[in-house]
Structure 1
């Protein structure tokens, strides 16, 4: 007896559905009627269209957020936390739909996207608890006076999210702004907007109208948000070039804005000769996020610096392990590694693979299109390069894809200089069984977040962010919570308590 066919995920979650923006609690198209086509990265087929917000749409979203903010702030942390709880329940109810939309739209494997949705719940519970414990400071600055701090939200926050974790970023990144009493205008990446527009329905059900507004579109839509006079606080996750542009455009707007930027990385993984080879090679592959987002992650350890004593064995072991991963259609349950996000991005990655070969690196495995997959899909078999040097493009530029570069080192000081030789400093990892060496090296590496015998994992409550061109500000921690609040100091001149007591008793 034949088995029933599984439902077609595109027919179930995309076909016949409308994807609209959320402004002032209403689902709307763009005022100018402009749309953008959305293509399936697994097949190249046209999926649907999404609205492109014009400046008037962004202005309407900002106005709605501004009008909703006083009442949202007045709810207090407890009232806002209740909305978080309702939203968390809705998120779990819609887990499969959201995960499938990310697989369909972004190309990330669906089984990884289910875990992304699950992770959101921890943040929805964590931020209210952190906000409840927040307090001010009292300063003994001068006798006979009282000095203390108080905090107020900025008002309207603009949030622009990256394409590589659409649901997770659309849920977790706005939370510290919202729990502190700000309202939000969020713009997802124009390459992966479907799940965020689906989330708009959940935001509208869980939060008062205008508290969360979602606009989609292109660079002009983002620019309208960045330069709007009423958006006092901006946060962006994405490329260095776009982060620099946002800084410039925010300054040119004529209105002082507070920015946080989580930008690119070309992260070093330093491997010492005393490691467990199996654990270290597993860590190198895990740290590339290949089975989550095809290496399209700013935190991936794409530069692997291995001591020469174990170099050849390390490379051979990695190559064998990479062969066990199945590249395939993102919404196929058996897929480990999906397609990259777009045809243009695939072309860019292949260009890096070709440049690595041309510049003398050894392509150990991968770098091409696996056989047996849809011809229109954006598939790249993970590429492993050996004999990489810092002068090669694959050794110094962020590829944002499934390309691993393995460097050989002998001299400790030269290795540290090489690891720190770029203007990017997001993350790094150190692999050794010697505790002294581990801490010495972690201290020497120029990176905002360093793992020892681990990589790429985030732990809520620990500040995450980079140095250099990898960004400004810290996320997922009390530092981020405070960054969405303006601080004021209150000074009170106290009278002579003896005089007051005498008047009271006299």
Structure 2
């Protein structure tokens, strides 16, 4: 098994046009391991000056790639999947140390990434147009064509999935891609560029490291036809503003302040287990679909709260390569300080802290950005911990009795990504789900994704749907053609 040092990318620059290059104005940044605070490596960081060069190279790549027959493109995506799986342990080590996540839970992410590549490879023949009857004298039909250069801006909680995985539909549709990995965690994206080098035509797969400046430049560059983003709603608004001048298409997965709704007939033990599982503590709660607001009916609220500690005690923060670790660290000091500040705000506003609220006491974790699972009870919707996206391991429990008022509170925020409903009554479950303003819902389940099912949010939680055929079609545009058949 390789060490993380052996898995590190060999190249420190940026990759576009089929070549590794130094940025126009090279600046070196330290890549920190958030579980220890130590420097993993250093890489060069691009700036806005590099964007036009990368986009021009991507345009040249697109001109070749769009002409590759769909089934041939599919074969290349399947080869990408094979390479990802062959290097699964390297990717797992990189993301584990670059993000502070448990290594034991990351091997499957490379496999899932491979599956996503294979899934969209299998859909290439579904990019179909349609025909419209016109009589004997003409025929009207449509075809689907790729947009051109697509920019993908990734978040830090799942770097491999949000860079290579999110490239799958883009490439299957015949577009070229410029990936901007998260500035805190660029290593798996850089390593993927090394592994894929020579497999795709030059300029089809490109990686630009960098911060917000690079993302903004990609969103505003006239050579970029479409932008995909996984990030916060503030970042979404910035991308939309930058894309407005050239009326770019966008697809976005954005912030969530999601509700878990427990009805009075729900089993308190199952609700408590679902609350813990849904919070994605493996990633230290850094998941936009986590149910950070738990609306628990008054009849079972005390019973649920009483059962939570037993489930939370099984969540073990630790270093990435420790096989006992089940919970990782926050991504960086900024995230750590934000979570700390919201815990203090919750206490100050009168919420009752019933679990966690501080870093673990293990001295081995003292230099990392760890925080225990944190649960507040007696929360009301006028508190900031019930309204703001914290993006960390903090869950607010709100007791309810009136269904209409509870649903009003669930829906009153500007977010609408996901919702989890717990009950034995399937009729009531469907009634609740039909009134919830969220794009992805579970009944007696939480957090699980299902490839092929459309994932995306309502309101300010995103635009478009991903992980399904609709994602592939979103990266195509429809052209209609009328042929006159008259003499």
TM bracket (short chain): over 0.9
Provide the residue aligned with 1:308 in structure 2.
298
Provide the residue aligned with 2:329 in structure 1.
339
Per-residue CA deviation, residues 33-68 of structure 1 (Å, 9 max, x unaligned), is 112211110111122212211233222211111111
Instruction: Give TM-score scaled by structure 2 length.
Output: 0.97
- Offset of residue 384 of structure 1: 0.8
CA distance in 1, matches of 2:240, 2:408: 29
Per-residue CA deviation, residues 358-387 of structure 1 (Å, 9 max, x unaligned), is 111110010101112332200101101111
Provide the residue aligned with 2:481 in structure 1.
490
Q: CA contact under 8 A between 2:22 and 2:44: conserved in structure 1? A: yes
Q: Which moved more, 1:392-401 or 1:47-56?
A: 47-56
| Equivalent runs, 1:348-363 vs 2, <5 Å | 348-363=338-353
Q: CA contact under 8 A between 2:152 and 2:229: conserved in structure 1? A: yes
CA distance in 1, matches of 2:271, 2:303: 12
- Of 72, 76, 86 in structure 2, the residue corresponding to residue 83 of structure 1 is 76
CA distance in 1, matches of 2:207, 2:223: 16
Q: CA contact under 8 A between 1:359 and 1:392: conserved in structure 2? A: yes
| Equivalent runs, 1:288-437 vs 2, <5 Å | 288-291=279-282, 293-372=283-362, 373-437=364-428
Provide the residue aligned with 1:153 in structure 2.
146
- Offset of residue 108 of structure 1: 1.4
Provide the residue aligned with 2:268 in structure 1.
277
Structure 1: which 5+ residue stretches go unaligned?
1-5, 501-506
CA RMSD, 1 decimal: 1.6
- Offset of residue 142 of structure 1: 6.5
Larger Rg: 1
CA distance in 2, matches of 1:131, 1:218: 33
| 3-state SS of 2:49 partner | helix
Q: CA contact under 8 A between 1:21 and 1:200: conserved in structure 2? A: no
Change in CA separation of 1:18 and 1:331 when aligned onto 2, cut-off 3 Å: farther
- Of 440, 446, 457 in structure 2, the residue corresponding to residue 455 of structure 1 is 446
Provide the residue aligned with 1:207 in structure 2.
200
CA distance in 2, matches of 1:333, 1:30: 39
1:93 to 2:86 alignment: yes
| 3-state SS of 2:197 partner | helix
CA distance in 2, matches of 1:218, 1:206: 28
Q: CA contact under 8 A between 2:80 and 2:114: conserved in structure 1? A: no
- Of 460, 464, 468 in structure 2, the residue corresponding to residue 473 of structure 1 is 464
Q: Number of residue pairs matched?
A: 486
CA distance in 2, matches of 1:340, 1:294: 6
1:221 to 2:214 alignment: yes
- Offset of residue 17 of structure 1: 4.5
Q: CA contact under 8 A between 1:349 and 1:399: conserved in structure 2? A: yes
CA distance in 2, matches of 1:59, 1:240: 26
Q: Which moved more, 1:155-164 or 1:372-381?
A: 372-381
| Equivalent runs, 1:82-231 vs 2, <5 Å | 82-140=75-133, 144-231=137-224
Structure 2: which 5+ residue stretches go unaligned?
none
| 3-state SS of 1:309 partner | helix
Provide the residue aligned with 1:13 in structure 2.
7
Change in CA separation of 1:66 and 1:315 when aligned onto 2, cut-off 3 Å: same
- Offset of residue 324 of structure 1: 1.5
- Offset of residue 31 of structure 1: 2.1
Q: CA contact under 8 A between 2:127 and 2:144: conserved in structure 1? A: no
CA distance in 1, matches of 2:85, 2:115: 12
CA distance in 2, matches of 1:266, 1:307: 19
CA distance in 2, matches of 1:215, 1:151: 28
Q: CA contact under 8 A between 1:288 and 1:300: conserved in structure 2? A: yes
Provide the residue aligned with 2:26 in structure 1.
33
CA distance in 1, matches of 2:135, 2:395: 58
CA distance in 2, matches of 1:485, 1:147: 19
